[in-house]
Amino acid sequence: MFKIARYLYHNTWIVKKLVDFIEDIHLYLRSILYSDETFLKQNFKKRFGRPLNLEKPKTLNEKIHWLKLHDRTNLHTTCADKYLVRNYVKETVGENYLIPLVFQSYDIKDIKPENFPDIPFIIKANHNSSGGVIVRDKDAINWKKKRKHFKKLLKKNYYNSSKEWQYKNIKPCVIAEKLLVNKLGDIPFDYKLHCFHGKVQVIQVDIDRYSNHKRNMYSTTWKLLPFTWSIWQNNKPLWDNGSHIKKPSTLQEMITVAEELSKPFCYSRIDLYDFEGKVLFGEITFHHGSGLETIYPEAYDLKLGNLIDLNQLNKEHI
């Protein structure tokens, strides 16, 4: 029965629309009927099978949930906005770390081929955590379909599904950046630097993200760390460790840039690229995996949690 239902969902347009509609209604009702704390506790227990400890959080995932509720500033909103964060990056580390912006508009009607360059680019909304559309040839794109896609996307408030407050007050728009692609057509690895009180402690590398996605965790000295940090399916990580990769020549520069950008924050993940020997900024994330990705072995969830001292949080922002 489950296989039949899954087949119908993925292969029957009306069934998929109906299921998605029911899920959206259920999520909306939960978001308005429950407090943020209750909402987060329900999600945490559903994912991990145990209660969320917000009174004395110890693990990193517990503390991420605590930060969702208590660490809320205007700067968080600015830096979660993929458009406005560019000015923060420019003022903090310099404009040379920004990927060229080739399009920005608050009007869906502007998403048409004549407004985009004749080079590969990626289109994305500024107010959520995913959903980018890679365009290598704009003449091969169904632009009407893309306008419908982003019209629907811009109507959603990501805060309702995650209770990550920084997304709540972002004015939605669509942006496009030049696609980072080398001569072979490959997209560079993502280097995600996890910063605790302004210091890089763990570097996450997402390898072959659009094909055979693997994820390695490294120390700042480029030692491969023996744990996974991933969504789990069928009792195993969705993104397992890949083969050890060579230390990037720009590692120290990436660490310096990430620490500068993360200084105002208790915990943040600074995403960077090493593209042909040049460090470029990706985005800033404040609640990696929404605090719902499994860190295994569990001892590392506690070890990373110990790196956050909640007492250091600026009391004016609580």
Q: What is the pLDDT of residues 291-306, one digit of tens each?
A: 999 999 999 999 999 9
Q: Are residues 151 and 243 in the same domain?
A: no
Instruction: Please tell me the distance from the alpha carbon of residue 135 to that of residue 178, in angstroms, as a whole number.
Output: 10
Tokens representing 115 are 């407004």
Sign of the CA dihedral with 86 first, then 87, 92, and 97 last: positive
Tens-digit pLDDT profile for residues 20-56: 556 566 555 666 667 999 999 999 999 999 999 999 9
Q: Are residues 135 and 202 in the same domain?
A: no
Count of H-run helices and E-run strands, the chain? 10, 13
Contact 282, 38 (CB under 8 A): no
Q: Is residue 45 part of a domain?
A: no
Q: Are residues 109 and 219 in the same domain?
A: no
Q: Are residues 230 and 174 in the same domain?
A: no
* Mean pLDDT (whole number) for 229-255: 87
Rounded to the nearest angstrom, the gap between the alpha carbon of residue 253 and the centroid of all alpha carbons in its chain is 22
Q: Which of these three, 119, 154, 181, is where a domain ends? A: 181
Q: Give which of 275, 266, 258 is closest to 311, Cα–Cα.
A: 266
Q: Is residue 86 part of a domain?
A: no
* 311-318 long-range Cβ contacts below 8 angstroms, 24+ apart: 312/197, 312/266, 313/70, 313/71, 313/266, 317/71, 317/72, 317/73, 318/70, 318/71
* pLDDT over 60 (residue 180): yes
Return the higher-pLDDT residue of 20 and 215. Answer: 215
Q: Are residues 63 and 113 in the same domain?
A: no
Helix runs in 111-265, H state only: 143-155, 158-162, 251-262
Q: Is residue 17 part of a domain?
A: no
Q: Are residues 168 and 212 in the same domain?
A: no
Mean pLDDT of the chain: 89
Query: How much is the pLDDT for 59?
Result: 98
- Give residue 285's domain range: 50-71+186-318
* Mean pLDDT (whole number) for 205-212: 78
Q: Are residues 237 and 265 in the same domain?
A: yes
Query: How much is the pLDDT for 316?
Result: 41
Query: How much is the pLDDT for 314?
Result: 52
Q: pLDDT band for position 225 (50/70/90)?
A: very high
Q: Are residues 248 and 115 in the same domain?
A: no
Residue 65: HSE in the Cβ half-sphere, 13 Å Cα cutoff: 24
Q: Is residue 90 part of a domain?
A: no
Query: How much is the pLDDT for 235?
Result: 77
Q: Are residues 223 and 299 in the same domain?
A: yes
Q: Is residue 82 part of a domain?
A: no
Q: Is residue 317 part of a domain?
A: yes
Q: Are residues 140 and 190 in the same domain?
A: no
Q: Are residues 218 and 292 in the same domain?
A: yes
Q: Is residue 243 part of a domain?
A: yes
Q: Are residues 272 and 291 in the same domain?
A: yes
State how many domains the chain has.
2
* Mean pLDDT (whole number) for 265-276: 96
Query: How much is the pLDDT for 29?
Result: 60
- Looking at the chain, the whole-number percentage of residues with pLDDT higher than 90 is 70
From 34-43, 122-131, 132-141, the region with the lowest mean pLDDT: 122-131
Specify the residue for token string 């969320």.
52
**Does the global pTM surpass 0.75?**
yes
Q: pLDDT band for position 128 (50/70/90)?
A: confident
Listed ranges 131-145, 196-210, 224-238, 262-276; the one with the highest mean pLDDT: 262-276
* pLDDT over 50 (residue 267): yes
